[in-house]
Structure 1
Amino acid sequence: MKIAIANDVAMAAEALRRVVASTSEHQVLWIARTGSEAVRMCAENRPDLVLMDLNMPELDGVEATRQIMEQSPCAILVVTGRPQDNVNQVFRALGAGALDVTATPMLQGKADGAVELLAKIKTMDKLIRHSGGSQAMLPRSASAPERREAKTTKLVAIGASTGGPLAVSKILAGWLPPPGCAIVVVQHIDENFAEHFAKWLGEQLEMPVRAIEHGDELAPGTVLIAKSNDHLVLDKDYRLGYDATPKDYAYRPSVDVFFRCVAQHWRGDAVGVLLTGMGRDGAEGLLEMRRAGHTTIAQDQASSAVYGMPRAAAELDAAQLILPLDKIGPMLRSTTGSRG
């Protein structure tokens, strides 16, 4: 895989170069020292993957990611020092089209950082090949008690990948779902950052958000976030849990796996929503939901950061409705209702 590095700190860039060069499968295509240089070099010599820092001169990593995804789309992995200290910036980059985030390995230090980075690169490689190439937590207010309701009668299942965090926040913003309505989000994101995603999303919404623990029940009025690299499942008793199989599936957690569980086990009203993302995950599961009689929605091409997953759903005729992002939220309210 041809890998580019965008990092203005010489020591960090050299650490990344050495990690990539330590394997025979990958090569360093180029190194950019500024965000604008990264945008230009992507246009001139597009890599398979960019290792993108967040803090750079001229253009930061968020804006560089946005411009690259608009002008020369390719896979982008945010690699930055202590990403947990830059949560807002990380999710802006993910919203702009970056696939995932990891910490910058040290030039001299423990090998853990290098091992984790190589594991991320391996996952990116699988995603890129599976997609046909690069082109192709806690409630908002801890003091406020969570509203508990006796029975879940409606379920909104949302799947997303590249660009998903911002897309999810936009369709759920300002909405208080009706009694009995639970919301589950399966976002492709590493388990080490899932709790941060839940906390960040809770700051954007008017309802509580929390990560799902194995064995949890559906919680009406709460947004539940998949938090494991294993796949989120729903059983016939409506209990949520995690399952490692299929082990060789590149998309983790898989939207397909959860959508299929909804199609097989859920007997109330349900809406499946497939948002922006690279690859095909979620399309077949959405089709099963449609065949089971549930409402299915896919994001349209113009509003998607990457039109991979929704495109696959459209090709399978899995989505009853193909809508721009700003129309999906109103459609959810129309389909399931609102509180008050």
Structure 2
Amino acid sequence: MAVKVLVVDDSGFFRRRVTEILAGDPQIQVVGTATNGKEAIEQTQALRPDVITMDYEMPVMDGISAVKQIMQRCPTPVLMFSSLTYEGARVSLDALDAGAADYLPKNFEDISRNPDKVRQLLCERVHALARTNRRSLGIAPATVSAPSVSSRPLTGSASAPRSSEPPAPRSSSPAPRKRSYKLVAIGTSTGGPVALQKVLTQLPASFPAPLVLIQHMPAAFTKAFAERLDKLCRISVKEAEDGDILRPGLALLAPGGKQMMVDGRGAIRILPGDERLNYKPCVDVTFGSAAKAFGDKVLAVVLTGMGADGREGARMLKQAGSSVWAQDEASCVIYGMPMAVAKANLADGIYSLDDIGRYLAEIG
């Protein structure tokens, strides 16, 4: 069955363009449009779409207010559009807190200059969100019409797995044994901002290890995200800069559009984003450098996200003797990255998001 989409935007131009782009995919059906948040709520209840694309700035009711009410009344995966600015980053993070599943930068120039790229990105993201873990949004699995086609990798994210794949490993791991680490490395993508916030707010100010965070996110967003985490957490969080030194209780977030590596002296190296890599930042790159720098003294954690970024880096860490945890399916927004690690038999433990934060807080 086709994925049913509701398009919400006060701009007639953007509504038409988004509708035209989505209508070009035979596996997507635009079932309605709305010009403000109030209409979006009404249309969601009447049409029961599988995915909603939502603007932020609208008359009558803004997008974030609409998302909050939709998640209370009729939980539905929401893809937010926001500008590639610091304010756009703040809005996107607020929307994710309100319950949105993902976001895309709203860039009119890209629509004009790269229509094929925009079409691929938007359609693939909609297909992926139609496969969102319904439990994470409070939606019964039977309410969703999943697409019958698989999606190709896309910039900053990759498609969710087909439902015909073998069942994913269940979360049945015993609590990890306590040990000390020289570094904790956490990688994530779709659903990651909320997941990281939930994990990191459980850590004490006296957390004994340095942390590095790799979140698939545009360059304009990572600074705002690091600042938000720093305000919410007892540990310190900052966007990583070249030459930063790892220290206990400090989490360094990889800057968007670039690659982050660590060396044996505990220094951070920030490198230009390699065009050959789909992800900038890439979890595999940071995990691989950590394996080389610290051998068996790393704890790697792979959280919610589409695709398989982190699997090969986790393999390198396991070969060096380090530990790898993966988030379980039930607590993921998208069970892609953790599933790739678990199905490759690289996870020492598969835990819920709540347990990951609790177990991290207890490491020696």
Note closer, same or farther for the CA distance 1:324–1:116 as it changes in structure 2 (3 Å cut). Answer: farther
Structure 1 position 331 matched with structure 2 position 332: no
Give the SS at the match of 1:219: coil
- 1:36 corresponds in structure 2 to 41
CA RMSD of aligned residues (A): 3.9
CA contact (8 A) 2:295 2:320 kept: no
CA contact (8 A) 2:9 2:54 kept: no
- 2:176 corresponds in structure 1 to none
C-alpha distance in structure 2 between counterparts of 1:314 and 1:42, whole Å:
37
* Code of the aligned partner of 2:222: A
Structure 1 position 288 matched with structure 2 position 331: no
CA contact (8 A) 1:154 1:269 kept: yes
Structure 1: which 5+ runs fail to align?
106-110, 137-151
Structure 1 position 197 matched with structure 2 position 225: yes
Give the SS at the match of 1:271: strand
Note closer, same or farther for the CA distance 1:201–1:282 as it changes in structure 2 (3 Å cut). Answer: same
Note closer, same or farther for the CA distance 1:83–1:230 as it changes in structure 2 (3 Å cut). Answer: closer
Per-residue Cα deviation, 1:18-75 (whole angstroms, up to 9, x for no partner): 377589977995252133366469855x57xx5322367597135657998x66x6xx
* Code of the aligned partner of 1:17: R
C-alpha distance in structure 1 between counterparts of 2:40 and 2:100, whole Å:
15
Note closer, same or farther for the CA distance 1:286–1:120 as it changes in structure 2 (3 Å cut). Answer: farther
- 1:61 corresponds in structure 2 to 67
C-alpha distance in structure 2 between counterparts of 1:260 and 1:99, whole Å:
27
CA contact (8 A) 1:277 1:306 kept: yes
Note closer, same or farther for the CA distance 1:13–1:237 as it changes in structure 2 (3 Å cut). Answer: farther
Per-residue Cα deviation, 1:94-113 (whole angstroms, up to 9, x for no partner): 354533342464xxxxx478
Taking structure 1 as the reference length, the TM-score comes to: 0.74
- 1:218 corresponds in structure 2 to 246
Give the SS at the match of 1:60: helix
Structure 1 position 102 matched with structure 2 position 105: yes
- 2:8 corresponds in structure 1 to 7
CA contact (8 A) 2:221 2:256 kept: no
Give the SS at the match of 2:362: helix
- Report percent identity of matched pairs: 27
* Code of the aligned partner of 1:6: V
Give the drift of 1:125: 6.0
- 2:236 corresponds in structure 1 to 208
Give the SS at the match of 2:221: helix
C-alpha distance in structure 1 between counterparts of 2:66 and 2:229, whole Å:
22
Note closer, same or farther for the CA distance 1:244–1:42 as it changes in structure 2 (3 Å cut). Answer: farther
- What does 1:200-279 align with in structure 2 at a 5 Å threshold? 200-244=228-272, 246-267=274-295, 269-279=297-307
Correspondent of 1:155 among 174, 180, 183 = 183
Per-residue Cα deviation, 1:252-299 (whole angstroms, up to 9, x for no partner): 211111111111222462210111111111122222212211121111
* Code of the aligned partner of 1:90: S
Give the drift of 1:154: 1.8
* Code of the aligned partner of 1:129: R
Structure 2: which 5+ runs fail to align?
126-150, 164-179
C-alpha distance in structure 2 between counterparts of 1:194 and 1:243, whole Å:
15
C-alpha distance in structure 1 between counterparts of 2:68 and 2:113, whole Å:
25
Give the drift of 1:7: 2.0
